[in-house]
Structure 1
Amino acid sequence: MLYDLIPHIINGLALGLLFALLALGFMLIIGVMEVINLAHGSLFALGAYVALAVMVPDGGLPYAFMEPYYALPDVPRYVIALIVGPLVVAVVGAGLELCLRRTYGQDPLYGLLLTFGAALVLEEGIREIWGSSEYYLPIPRGISGGFIAGDLIYSTYRIYAAIFAAAMIGLLWLFLNRTPYGAIIKAGAHDGEMVRALGHNLSRLRLFVFAFGAALAAIAGIIMAPIWGIRPVVGVDAVVPAFVVIVLGGVGSFWGAVSAGLLVGLVVGLTAAFATDWSLLSMYLLLLAVVTFRSRGLAGKASVLES
Structure 2
Amino acid sequence: MLNLMPHLVNGLTLGLLFALIALGFMLILGLMEQINLAHGSLFALGAYFAYAIATPRLPIPPDMLQAWAAVPLGWRYLAAVVLAPILVAPFGALIERLMRRTYGKDPLYGLLLTFGIAMVLEDLIRTVWGTRDYTLPVPRDLSGGFFFLDLIWSRYRFWAAAFAVAAIAAVWLIVERTRFGAMVKAGAHDTEIVQALGIDIGRLRTGVFIFGTMLAALAGVIMAPIWGIRPHMGVDAVVPAFLVIVLGGVGSFWGAVLAGLLVGMVVGLSGAYASEWSLLSMYLLLIAVVTFRARGLFGKKSALEA
Query: TM-score normalised by the shorter chain: which range applies?
Result: over 0.9
- Look up the equivalent residue of 1:256 and give its one-letter code: G
CA contact (8 A) 1:53 1:61 kept: no
- Indicate the residue corresponding to 1:47 in structure 2: 46
- Look up the equivalent residue of 1:91 and give its one-letter code: P
- Indicate the residue corresponding to 1:27 in structure 2: 26
Distance in 1 separating the partners of 2:130 and 2:291 = 42
Residue 265 of structure 1: how far off its partner (Å)? 0.4
2:196 paired with 1:190: no
Aligned partner of residue 276 in structure 2, secondary structure: helix
Distance in 2 separating the partners of 1:140 and 1:197 = 51
CA contact (8 A) 2:42 2:234 kept: yes
- Indicate the residue corresponding to 1:176 in structure 2: 175
2:276 paired with 1:294: no
Counterparts of 1:102-181 in structure 2 under 5 Å? 102-181=101-180
- Higher mean displacement: 211-220 or 246-255: 246-255
Number of aligned pairs?
302
- Indicate the residue corresponding to 1:274 in structure 2: 273
- Look up the equivalent residue of 1:167 and give its one-letter code: A
Distance in 1 separating the partners of 2:36 and 2:290 = 22
Aligned partner of residue 3 in structure 1, secondary structure: coil
Residue 91 of structure 1: how far off its partner (Å)? 1.1
- Indicate the residue corresponding to 2:7 in structure 1: 8
CA contact (8 A) 2:58 2:65 kept: no
- Look up the equivalent residue of 2:162 and give its one-letter code: I
- Indicate the residue corresponding to 1:78 in structure 2: 77
Residue 239 of structure 1: how far off its partner (Å)? 0.3
Aligned partner of residue 244 in structure 2, secondary structure: helix
Aligned partner of residue 299 in structure 1, secondary structure: coil
Aligned partner of residue 16 in structure 2, secondary structure: helix
Distance in 2 separating the partners of 1:16 and 1:212 = 21
- Indicate the residue corresponding to 2:59 in structure 1: 61
Distance in 1 separating the partners of 2:48 and 2:196 = 41
CA contact (8 A) 2:16 2:261 kept: yes
- Look up the equivalent residue of 1:61 and give its one-letter code: P
Aligned partner of residue 300 in structure 2, secondary structure: coil
Moved over 6 A (4+): none
CA contact (8 A) 1:89 1:215 kept: yes
Residue 303 of structure 1: how far off its partner (Å)? 5.8
Distance in 1 separating the partners of 2:228 and 2:61 = 23
Counterparts of 1:190-269 in structure 2 under 5 Å? 190-269=189-268
Aligned partner of residue 257 in structure 2, secondary structure: helix
CA contact (8 A) 2:23 2:256 kept: yes
Distance in 2 separating the partners of 1:166 and 1:260 = 15
Aligned partner of residue 141 in structure 2, secondary structure: helix
Residue 301 of structure 1: how far off its partner (Å)? 2.3
Q: Deviations over 1:244-297 (max 9, x none)?
A: 111111113111110110010000001111111111111011111111111111
Paired-residue identity, %: 64
CA contact (8 A) 1:190 1:303 kept: no
Distance in 1 separating the partners of 2:72 and 2:155 = 19
- Look up the equivalent residue of 1:301 and give its one-letter code: K
CA contact (8 A) 2:27 2:251 kept: no
What CA RMSD, in Å, does the superposition of the two structures yield over aligned residues? 1.3
For structure 1, list consecutive stretches of 5 or more residues without a partner in the other structure: none
Distance in 2 separating the partners of 1:49 and 1:41 = 13
Aligned partner of residue 124 in structure 2, secondary structure: helix
- Look up the equivalent residue of 1:80 and give its one-letter code: A
Q: TM-score, normalised by structure 1?
A: 0.96
Distance in 2 separating the partners of 1:220 and 1:163 = 13
- Look up the equivalent residue of 1:83 and give its one-letter code: V
- Indicate the residue corresponding to 2:35 in structure 1: 36
Distance in 2 separating the partners of 1:33 and 1:132 = 34
Residue 61 of structure 1: how far off its partner (Å)? 3.3
For structure 2, list consecutive stretches of 5 or more residues without a partner in the other structure: none
- Indicate the residue corresponding to 2:95 in structure 1: 96
Distance in 2 separating the partners of 1:130 and 1:284 = 32
- Look up the equivalent residue of 1:293 and give its one-letter code: F
Residue 62 of structure 1: how far off its partner (Å)? 4.6
